[in-house]
Amino acid sequence: MQNQKDTEISFRRKPDWLKVKLPHGFKTKDVIGLLNDRHLHTICSSGMCPNRHECWKAGTATFMLCGNICTRNCKFCNVTNKKPLPLDPNEIDEIAKTVRELGLRHVVITSVDRDDLPDQGAAHWAAAIRKIKQTSPGVTMEVLIPDFQGKSELIDMIIAEKPNIISHNMETVRRLTPEVRSVATYDRSLSVIKYISSKGIRTKSGIMLGLGETTEEIIATMDDLRRVGCDVMTIGQYLQPSREHYQVREYVTPEEFNRLGEIARSKGFLHVESAPMVRSSYHAEKHVM
């Protein structure tokens, strides 16, 4: 049985630079109210994103398709893992209505993994992109997709709808991928990004720090991403959702994030977000330009 000292080590106290006050305001209340009324999910809430109130207030939100139960069980992720429910036929219409009624300027769409479905949810994805474009023609859009098991015919269904950016996260460095991620592999994720880039779509990926990676491994991941044509990179601090999740090994300082951001920019990324509180969709509206 784990003693008290071990428990404290496995759930580290956050340093001051990771302690933020969550603002409240008109837009935040609007978003929460509509999400609850329409039984919609955002990765902002399901993933406990620390920036959710800031993004909502700025008119950006990240909606989660295909429900809120994932078929994979990544050790860093707070999304529920068990047998998913059938796809909700009303989900797409409700998300599109919410985007329009909130007057969002930029929307990010992501989803849980649905390995239980023959197409892993790709048709549902494509229909959602089409519907949002029809109902909110002025909105810009980023889609943060799962790996679709690396199947190009499924990825093509997303590419055909022409979102502004297609993002797929590496999450961590090569060595730690088998420990941290479930089912996904480092090379498969690289191949997904490479395939999307080859079709002329702006690509984006992100990693978390504090999992036990070395600086050399971080830089190697940057090089791998640039080699496959990735345009935008996000680098943020891993925050352990609970004692049952993968242990935080280190809280990386803001100064080190700044240094790594400069290294990434020097490698030719069009946009880099590197700071402790950065998440995949943080300042996502800037990455379209």
pLDDT given at position 79: 85
Cα–Cα distances in angstroms (integers) from residue 182 to residues 70, 171, 176, 186, 217, in the given order: 11, 11, 11, 11, 20
Share of the chain above pLDDT 90, in %: 63
pLDDT given at position 2: 36
Contacts with 67 (C-beta within 8 Å, 6 or more apart), sequence order: 41, 84, 85, 87, 88, 91, 112
pLDDT digits (tens, 9 = 90+) for 161-188: 999 999 999 999 999 999 999 999 999 9
| Beta pairing partners, 155 | none
Cα–Cα distance between 166 and 202 in angstroms, integer? 6
pLDDT digits (tens, 9 = 90+) for 155-166: 999 999 999 999
Return the ∠ at Cα 179 (arms to 165 and 231), rounded to 5°: 20
Q: Which of 65-74, 123-132, 224-233 has the lowest mean pLDDT?
A: 65-74
State both tokens at 150: 């690396």
pLDDT digits (tens, 9 = 90+) for 205-221: 999 999 999 999 999 99
Q: How many CB atoms lie within 10 A of CB 173?
A: 23
Cα–Cα distance between 197 and 191 in angstroms, integer? 10
Report the top-level CATH class of 4-13+20-288: alpha beta
Edge-to-edge order in the sheet of strand 232-237: 60-65, 106-111, 140-144, 165-167, 202-209, 232-237, 271-274
Between 191 and 239, whose confidence is greater?
191
Q: How many CB atoms lie within 10 A of CB 103?
A: 12
Domain locations in the chain as residue ranges: 4-13+20-288
Share of the chain above pLDDT 70, in %: 78
pLDDT given at position 197: 98
Cα–Cα distance between 289 and 274 in angstroms, integer? 18
